Structure 1
């Protein structure tokens, strides 16, 4: 078979100490042979430039779910990983390759782990067993990708790929920190320095291919970094290396003006600030998790969200401060929200009511999304992740000093817009709601001043998003998109 993507010896990047580019590819971007070939070409095109690269990979698309399934089967007395092995063998065969000894060893290890789960049952905690089993997805993924990359580009001197498990380069986590909501604090104190030292050296000799999502704790147990953990891995690596930028490659065209499942003509947003992206993702967007961008925020390192299926598109650039004039950036929709109304006449003119309420929320470990208050009432929203049993206990305690109404099946519609336009966006949005006969249950203007949230019933949420998107983005012309029209009507029009 002809070697695709061969380069001339002179094209190889001379090894030099420059800021690297961190490139993270999600599971859907490497789910098939053609997708892996495309990703390898994307990575190689950057690696042959002036900056070294570090590649961070998730497990191949579908692998994590398959691993969770075989773990469940092992608990029920059945062990069969043949379908997972076959999937990886078939992809290797598309490149005239066989699975390496390292990969076969990992599959054998996985079988032994599953056998131990089947025999020992409750002797190993469910979380620890799950973390250990799913970690094989990323570990096999980086080794297979490295083999394919090296096969496609055999003449790339100084650009040979090398696979690394995250703990080899310093991803060691602190006990009980992974679900605390912190980011860099999940790692032991000297982890960032070790990651920087390990990868700075590796990137001068190889193209490091690093497992995302997984780590080890100080006792050697495999741990995972939670939802969108591979994005967080890439962000931590970028911060440790003081990277030129961190690229998050997905199967979408960047951050969109709305969920394309609701708004088919949603368009990519060219640029957003870290603050805007945090608000957007917190309130429903699934492209980048808010925790995943914190490490690069602290170091003011740009992050770019790009489409692995169409690398020529610019994607969305996430920066500390935007220099692009804009109106509404994007609209998010958070479904299955619960509204809690708390009313007490004792609140009027008295102190301590709010603290009393939120001490109870803290006691039952229920986090709050948005809040609106008056002299005698508090309205707040909870996302779908709360424990319903805990909410019932909380409600019983609140009823000792207040009237409480809990309403489920609500949606939080959030507009991301600059704070100087918030009054105009509020005015215009309420005109839209009035004209469309959309009842609003609650309004919240976040402390960041870049988000405006409206609570509506789930059943009309999509209609609400469509009406807002049509008004702010559906009638845009090129002047509106770049913020060049100074009229009031266009200054709050969305920009992408």
Structure 2
């Protein structure tokens, strides 16, 4: 092989036969595409998430499995090898039913992960056969042979060293003669139980495999034409970005851009592997290339928005000219495994933001964490906020940035500002109900949209 591209297709890209056929043609059109990583077909994962929960009634289990079967068999009906693939999918559905029944009787994280893995197991088998139907030598490959993890079900951590060894000895030798189709999101621990990598796991899996194989490119195929200057659902003036640096893309992903999960870029950055993001529906329109060096480095590249933020302010006169107070605060947060996103300080107070307050983090902040912090200081918790991040280059050194940004925010109340820690962003908090307005006004001003 002179060049190797790892291609990853998301759930909407493998949602039905027509979608899979488009993706198969993308693979066929570029002989460098040798390893394909797929998500579960759109809709399947939601069913599996419900099935993985405790106490799902038997009647609902049957309904869910039937719904999953309909999604998959609606694809396989168009294949000449339908009998073969239907038999394989039926075996997997029987296994899934057995896991669902066991989970209802004795719910566990281990069984839940096993259940969640079936979407990718089915879609990868089907896509390999779709490839063969158009003359591409597609072969199913079980990623669990190489993707070894720890025992943290639901958020498993991959053993990078083992993956490298396994990819070299098991995976790489097969790529010279076949296009291998494998699964994102799943792995296997030392006890040979299936694990899942958590949110963003499919993109991350593809990036890890690209790193382990020293790939020349990683292509993420989704349902949008690359990365945009902001969310097109907020303003129709959003425009696609042709190229962007790793640093900028990482900031965008961290601060709310949904197109990539932040973890995806880490393996690519370690090996300096360019990442392409494009639409499997419209591959002819190109996309966004993410790489170490880019030709242009504008002050303003994009605007990211992350909703559902919680602001926690801790205040104590004991902070004044004293040392160790912040250490005590962060000891409490570390004890409860809470991660702070943004932080600003004054002489007697510290303000911190936390992501996703409607989940478990909010519950912890409202009870145990707040009570422990109140033993140290006065605590104020605010919900209903959104974080806006202006992403670009040398923002911390460019004259007039503050004027550009805050002059554009007329009528918007800014609750907190954080700038200086990164050359790539300036972040601030606004009320959730003003978030869209803030992004629209900023985009119009910074990108000179008439």
Q: Same fold judged by TM-score > 0.5?
A: yes
Aligned to 1:108: 94
TM-score by length of 2: 0.93
**In structure 1, what is the Cα distance between the partners aligned to 2:321 and 2:54?**
60
- Runs of at least 4 residues of structure 1 off by over 6 A? none
TM-score by length of 1: 0.84
Q: Deviations over 1:368-416 (max 9, x none)?
A: 1101112222111111245334213222233334222211101111000
Superposition CA RMSD, Å: 2.0
Where does 1:135-150 land on structure 2 (aligned, <5 Å)?
A: 135-150=117-132
From 183, 192, 196, give the equivalent of 1:211.
Answer: 183
Conserved in 2, the CA contact under 8 Å of 1:52 and 1:204? no
Q: Deviations over 1:280-320 (max 9, x none)?
A: 11111111111111111111111111111110122111112
Where does 1:155-194 land on structure 2 (aligned, <5 Å)?
A: 159-168=136-145, 170-176=146-152, 179=155, 186-187=158-159, 189-194=161-166
Structure 1 residue 440, shift from structure 2 partner:
0.9
Which has the higher Rg, Structure 1 or Structure 2? 1
From 37, 51, 57, give the equivalent of 1:56.
Answer: 37
Conserved in 2, the CA contact under 8 Å of 1:196 and 1:237? no
Q: In structure 2, the residue corresponding to 1:441 is in which secondary structure?
A: strand
Are positions 1:128 and 2:110 aligned together?
yes
Aligned to 2:22: 38
From 245, 248, 258, give the equivalent of 1:276.
Answer: 248
Q: In structure 2, the residue corresponding to 1:196 is in which secondary structure?
A: helix
Q: Deviations over 1:435-476 (max 9, x none)?
A: x22111110015222110011111111100100011112438
Structure 1 residue 262, shift from structure 2 partner:
1.1
**In structure 1, what is the Cα distance between the partners aligned to 2:70 and 2:415?**
52
Structure 2 unaligned residues grouped into runs of 5+:
none
**In structure 1, what is the Cα distance between the partners aligned to 2:47 and 2:360?**
27
Q: In structure 2, the residue corresponding to 1:94 is in which secondary structure?
A: coil
Structure 1 residue 58, shift from structure 2 partner:
0.7
Structure 1 unaligned residues grouped into runs of 5+:
1-16, 154-158, 477-496
Q: Deviations over 1:114-147 (max 9, x none)?
A: 23334xx12x51x222211121111111111111
Q: Deviations over 1:205-237 (max 9, x none)?
A: 100001111111110111111111110111011
Q: In structure 1, the residue corresponding to 2:58 is in which secondary structure?
A: coil
Where does 1:256-335 land on structure 2 (aligned, <5 Å)?
A: 256-335=228-307
Aligned length: 441
Where does 1:441-480 land on structure 2 (aligned, <5 Å)?
A: 441-445=415-419, 447-475=421-449
**In structure 2, what is the Cα distance between the partners aligned to 1:73 and 1:116?**
10
Q: In structure 2, the residue corresponding to 1:419 is in which secondary structure?
A: coil
Structure 1 residue 166, shift from structure 2 partner:
0.7
Conserved in 2, the CA contact under 8 Å of 1:165 and 1:210? yes
When residues 281 and 201 of structure 1 are mapped into structure 2, their CA distance, relative to the original with a 3 A threshold, is: same
Conserved in 2, the CA contact under 8 Å of 1:367 and 1:386? no
